[in-house]
Amino acid sequence: RAGLAYDRTMSDEPHDTIDALSSENRTFPPSATFKADSLVVDTSLYDEANEDDEAFWARQATELVDWSEPWDTVLDWQLPYAKWFEGATLNVAHNCLDRHVAAGKGGKVAIHWEGEPGDTRKITYQDLLDEVSQFSNVLKGLGVDKGDRVNIYLPMIPEAAVAMLACARIGAAHSVVFGGFSSQSLSDRINDAEAKVLITADGGYRRGEVFPLKPAADEACESTPTIEHMIVVKRGGNDVTMVEGRDHWYHDLMDGASTDCPAEPMEAEHLLFLLYTSGTTGKPKGIMHTTGGYLTQVTYTHKYVFDLQPETDVFWCTADVGWITGHSYIVYGPLSNGCTQVMYEGVPNHPGNDRFWEIVEKYGVTIFYTAPTAIRTFMKWGADEPAKHDLSSLRLLGTVGEPINPEAWMWYHEHIGGERCPIVDTWWQTETGGIMISPLPGATTTKPGSATFPLPGVTAELVDDEAQPVPVGGGYLTLTRPWPGMLRGIWGDPDRYRETYWSRFEGRYFAGDGAKLDDAGYLWLLGRVDDVMNVSGHRISTTEVESALVSHPAVAEAAVVGATDATTGQAVIAYVILRGGADVGEQDLRAHVASEIGAIAKPRKVFITPDLPKTRSGKIMRRLLRDVAEGRLIGDTTTLADASIVDELQAKAAASTDD
């Protein structure tokens, strides 16, 4: 194999993935029918960007975004710090709302919202502008100023988008925390950001029941000295306790709030939001995104990757607003492009396994964007579920969050796309702000399982351990040029920013992913090469779960690995050594992780063991643990301090039954 780096550093990755990819040679060119109405059908955008990427981005910024003042410089690049469109001013909420209303589209539906119990709301651009303006006034009334941070901890209800846009309108930075995170995770993030206000709800609907949020918010706020006010949206109808002076109902504050709140222009590099994501250490990183570059990138990618026909398309991204996908492709991209979209509150299997397909049919969804883990779940439920509904409105499908295996791609193509819809497999990260590697559906011939090529304006390269470019074969994925939507730093930690992303390979952004280039130049993403797991498309750090386990009084030591899982991509597997004399069950430890971090990080299995496999220098051998967890035969254990522990762990793994 050409990719030395691949062989040396990633040989412990599951081999079947690689074998499956190497033998994948089916190709899917865009059909003539699709091309007929497509925005891009040739290489012109790529050619233009190759010629001069700054000029290319400047043209996109001019065409796609409304600016109050023009920029002096397109890009100021002092590695690792980029400033895009300096000197310019704009307001993101104006771009997402006011400009569409001013263009006569106030009556157009911005959001078809569907609650899990079946209740709905139809929100036009005018409605959304009014509600956002009112809520901006509410925030101002509570003392929120430009530059302040506001935390948002909400279910998938329209108020989440309203809250984010209201922050953008007044120049406060939002920090959205996914509603599935625990109170501990929430308070850590609030404290790191030093947020003044927390916006939450009483509860939301999930799988037919109300899950309470306010009690977790209350618990979090016991240790968040910066929070002055909590705003509570009434959604679940569950009982809550309101703290006098601190807590306010959203509907009370909105009652009588003025809809007049002019959108104030912000500097292009003004902080738009923080979004926390897991890294290789226990402490989540507050990824910083700014105004002008981010909006340019999400508007551009939403338009061209999804080949948007703003007058007729109905877009649906199934992510939660608590993740970057929800920020960029529910709130900012689609609204900036003035399109109509669907937003759904709940799970895909309530009341039946066909809920998503019922929604597609009901609203005539034309573009559907979801995660491979969801597609694998739909495969398990069977093709009869989508077959119950008329899915002929669909014309384009997308995936994001993890590598998609060719079988899942083919199933999506046949059973959801009716063999007529192109699939865009989009690679990107919280840090990149928007899509980076993806087909352009009218121009690119796709291959099942490949994210294909970097978008026009993006340059990616694979390198080996010595930072030498790898033209064919496996390597580390790096980005060689700054891009407008790139992160501007880690909140409060510039050293970690430089260290994490810019120090492994000189002059390059290192994404943390491994990838392979085939001989036709197609990119195949192979997953993380660091200690970050990808469970159902969500990033979870092994260290973070280990710290959570060790925080339990009965636990002395813990090692966590991500093991391949047919549905969730990876599953969290923990090995735990108890303190002398301590006694605790597996279920208690799983529950402990859920309460420390959130249910998404709950280990699938916790093995209690007297010892862990370590090298003679005392380093835990994760590769061995992963082999055990994935049921592979153990190879070389000669560097192991005590080889008998592996036999013991294997026996335990063989005896365990998954729940």
Q: Which residues bind ligand WTA (CB under 6 A)?
A: 277, 323-325, 400-403, 425-430, 451, 511-513, 525, 527-528, 534, 539
Nearest distance in Å: CB 271, ligand WTA: 19
Rank residues 277 and 290 by Cβ distance to ligand WTA and give the closer one: 277
Nearest distance in Å: CB 42, ligand WTA: 24
Rank residues 277 and 296 by Cβ distance to ligand WTA and give the closer one: 277
**Distance, CA of 609 to CA of 607 (rounded, Å):** 6
How many Cα atoms sit within 13 Å of 324 on the Cβ side?
Answer: 28
What's the per-residue H, E or C state across 598-627?
EHHHCCCEEEECCCCCEECCCCECHHHHHH
Rank residues 53 and 320 by Cβ distance to ligand WTA and give the closer one: 320
| DSSP-based three-state secondary structure for 285 | strand
Nearest distance in Å: CB 249, ligand WTA: 32
**Distance, CA of 490 to CA of 496 (rounded, Å):** 7
Rank residues 338 and 514 by Cβ distance to ligand WTA and give the closer one: 514
Residues with Cβ < 8 Å from 49, sequence gap 6 or more? Answer: 56, 456, 457
**Distance, CA of 596 to CA of 185 (rounded, Å):** 7
Rank residues 101 and 176 by Cβ distance to ligand WTA and give the closer one: 176
Residues with Cβ < 8 Å from 446, sequence gap 6 or more? Answer: 27, 28, 422, 423, 424, 425, 439, 452
Nearest distance in Å: CB 24, ligand WTA: 14
Nearest distance in Å: CB 532, ligand WTA: 8
Give residue 458's identity as a one-letter amino acid code.
V
Rank residues 95 and 325 by Cβ distance to ligand WTA and give the closer one: 325
Rank residues 428 and 522 by Cβ distance to ligand WTA and give the closer one: 428
Inter-residue long-range contacts of 619-626, CB under 8 Å, 24+ positions, other chains counted: 620/559, 622/531, 622/542, 622/559, 622/561, 623/12, 625/559, 625/561, 625/573, 625/575, 625/649, 626/12, 626/561, 626/562, 626/563, 626/573
Query: Which pair of structure tokens corresponds to residue 165?
Result: 């846009």
Rank residues 152 and 305 by Cβ distance to ligand WTA and give the closer one: 305
DSSP state of 455: P
Nearest distance in Å: CB 539, ligand WTA: 5
Contact 610, 575 (CB under 8 A): no
Rank residues 156 and 645 by Cβ distance to ligand WTA and give the closer one: 156
Nearest distance in Å: CB 64, ligand WTA: 21
Of 525, 527, 532, 534, whose CA–CA distance to 373 is shortest? 534
Nearest distance in Å: CB 474, ligand WTA: 14
Rank residues 224 and 405 by Cβ distance to ligand WTA and give the closer one: 405
Strands (E), 87-206: 89-90, 109-114, 120-124, 149-153, 173-176, 197-201, 203-206
Nearest distance in Å: CB 479, ligand WTA: 12
For tokens 């301590």, the residue is 582
Rank residues 261 and 451 by Cβ distance to ligand WTA and give the closer one: 451
Contact 158, 121 (CB under 8 A): yes
State the first-to-last Cα distance of the chain, in angstroms, to the nearest integer. Answer: 39
Which residue(s) pair with 327 in the sheet? Answer: none
Nearest distance in Å: CB 285, ligand WTA: 10
Rank residues 312 and 445 by Cβ distance to ligand WTA and give the closer one: 445
Residue 523: in which H helix or E strand, if any?
strand 523-528
Nearest distance in Å: CB 103, ligand WTA: 30
DSSP state of 278: -
For tokens 């074998």, the residue is 19
Rank residues 91 and 536 by Cβ distance to ligand WTA and give the closer one: 536
Q: What is the largest CA-CA distance in the chain?
A: 73
**Distance, CA of 91 to CA of 264 (rounded, Å):** 6
**Distance, CA of 187 to CA of 216 (rounded, Å):** 10
